[in-house]
Amino acid sequence: MKNARQVALDILDRLQRGDQPLDYWLEKAEPQIAELKRQDRALVHALVYGTMRWKGRLDFIIDQLAQKTAKIDPLVRTILEMALFQMNHLDRVPDSAVVHTAVDLAKTNGRKWAAGFVNGLLRRSTAAPDPIRWPGEKAAPHEALSIEIALPAWLTRRWTERYGLDQTHLLGSAINTIPRVTLRTNTLKTDRSDLMRRIEAEAQTVTATRYSPEGIQIASLTRPLSQWPAYRDGWFQVQDEAAQLISHLLAPVPGETVWDACAGLGTKTAHVAQLMNNQGVIVASDVHPHRLAHLKADMQRLGVAIVTPRVMDLTGISGGAALPEFDRILVDAPCSGLGVLQKNPDGKWRVSEADISRSAQRQKAILERVAPHLRPGGRLVYAVCSFEPEENEGVIEAFLQKHPEFAIDNPKIAGTAKANRFITPQGYFKTLPHLEGMDGFFAALLIKAP
């Protein structure tokens, strides 16, 4: 059996060598993680997520101590990142023990030749006075901020141009905190109060969300969610509060026909079914068959009976051509994911500035394919977990220029009046992690002329 640090190193190494996101590699490693003790399972997640959150700052330290001219083996760099994260952000293990463990990892992973380098660099990092030459906040404010909050330079520049240095500091700091786990009550089987009572022994903290009427936030779990009887009985799904509000913006009613055009794993699909009281028809489409297989299994767990999965590529010319008209359509479009970096910190290092424009082009193409299938008088919600203008207003404005039969509705979010504070004067739904304590989302409700 591998120890926690070796499991974490394997995950980080695969992540940085491959082209799949962090959650994919965590799922692949789940059998190994499950064999560990509870404390060691927690350590794996702390090391993996923490190293990815602070990677930019950790790499700056490594390059300073290695004098930047040295070409560092990728696996050795990952070992150093993990060790520096522990030394700077965790306090249970003495620095000397962290150094010793890092040297052992180098030796046992075919990098015996780098053991002395790892030992020397980590010991230099703790020397007094501070051996790191940090950029000055006055002379190089953007560089200093980028390193302080471990944000890529290009993203720091984008956000400071839009929000200013102080707000970007708050935003980046919020992204680097451990996110709260938020559940959405499955109202087809129970209500929020009953669910909270049932799970109160499973977590040290169980509180109702402020804006979503079905949401519950939990902390300090006694065991994994998948082992909870309430999970097996289909009483909840894991879903951020901002994402829960998107379905309320769509506001479907029982008996309608709804198309969840980019359904993914089906979290919003199930919420839509709840709001419809399991009455009507939902077509859930996605380009990835394995996601729809997961969706189908989860619908069975949740007791949702009105969903028909359809494998469909909406970026193709014929995407969605065979479908009828719908009363309501949800387009939770693929995006850069820059609004969910708190949960997916690897996105900071995987996404480039060019990806934002590419995402916007894909989003526009999907809207073009979907729009003809909304009945006159019907409602369409476009949503993305990003607050980049190209993927937000830019997509909607370009779509409306081509489609005068559509207009932005200035909506009221059904079932939760408090959440109307997230609607801008232009009718857009917007949330930011450092202001609302939830994921960064954008959405617009469009109405098609009768």
CATH number reported for the structural domain that contains residue 412 in this entry: 3.40.50.150
For residue 205, give the amino acid letter: T
Same domain, 250 and 126: no
Range of the domain at 56: 4-133
Residue 145 domain-assigned (yes or no) = no
Ramachandran class of 210: left when φ > 0, alpha when ψ lies in -120 to 50, beta otherwise: alpha
Residue 249 within any structural domain of the chain: yes
* 227 Rama class: left (phi>0) / alpha (psi -120 to 50) / beta: alpha
> Looking at the structure, do residues 407 and 268 belong to the same domain, yes or no?
yes
Please answer whether residues 349 and 339 qualify as being in contact, where contact means their C-beta atoms are separated by less than 8 angstroms.
Answer: no
Q: Which residues contact 76 (CB under 8 A, 6 or more apart)?
A: 106, 111, 114, 117, 118
Residues 272, 229 share a domain? no
Same domain, 33 and 115: yes
**Does residue 259 belong to any structural domain of this protein?**
yes
Asked if residue 348 and residue 257 are part of one domain, the reply reads yes
Q: Return d(Cα 324, Cα 370) in angstroms, integer.
A: 11
Q: Are residues 201 and 248 in the same domain?
A: no
Neighbour count for residue 218 (Cβ, 10 Å): 21
Cross-sheet strand order for the sheet of 215-221? 203-208, 215-221, 181-185, 236-238
Residues 104 and 205 in one domain: no
**CATH code for the domain in which residue 212 is found:** 3.30.70.1170
Is the backbone peptide bond immediately before 129 cis, with ω within 30 degrees of 0?
yes
Residue 141 domain-assigned (yes or no): no
pLDDT in tens, 401-448: 999 999 999 777 877 778 899 999 999 999 999 998 999 999 999 999
Question: Which residues of the chain carry a pLDDT beneath 50?
Answer: none
**Domain contains 147:** no
Instruction: Note the pLDDT tens digit of each residue in 349-408.
Output: 999 999 999 999 999 999 999 999 999 999 999 999 999 999 999 999 999 999 999 999
Which of residues 238, 266, 284 is at a domain's end?
A: 238
Would 176 be classed as within a structural domain?
no
CB-based contacts of 369: which residues, under 8 Å, 6+ apart?
Answer: 314, 315, 319, 320
Q: Structural domain tally of the chain?
A: 3
pLDDT, tens digit, for every residue of 121-146? 999 999 878 888 999 877 789 999 99
In a domain, 144, yes or no: no
Q: Answer left, alpha or beta for residue 253, where phi above 0 means left and psi between -120 and 50 means alpha.
A: beta
The catalytic site residues sit at: 385
Q: Which H or E run contains 151?
A: none
Let me know whether 229 and 255 are in one domain: no
Residue 172 lies in a domain: no
d(CA 384, CA 337): 8
pTM: 0.94
At residue 104's C-alpha, the angle toward residues 100 and 109, to 5°, is 155
Name the residue among 425, 427, 393 with its Cα closest to residue 410: 427
CA distance 51 to 358: 28
* pLDDT for the residue 1: 67
Quick one: 225 and 245 in the same domain?
no
User: CATH number for the domain including 79?
Assistant: 1.10.940.10
**Do 346 and 327 share a structural domain?**
yes
234 shares a domain with 284: no
Beta strands 181-185 and 215-221, pairing class:
antiparallel
- The answer to whether residues 87 and 192 belong to one domain is no
Last residue of a domain, one of 95, 118, 133: 133
Q: For residues 302 and 187, is the Cβ–Cβ distance under 8 A?
A: no
Question: Hey, what are 370's tokens?
Answer: 């979907």
Domain stops at, among 219, 238, 257: 238
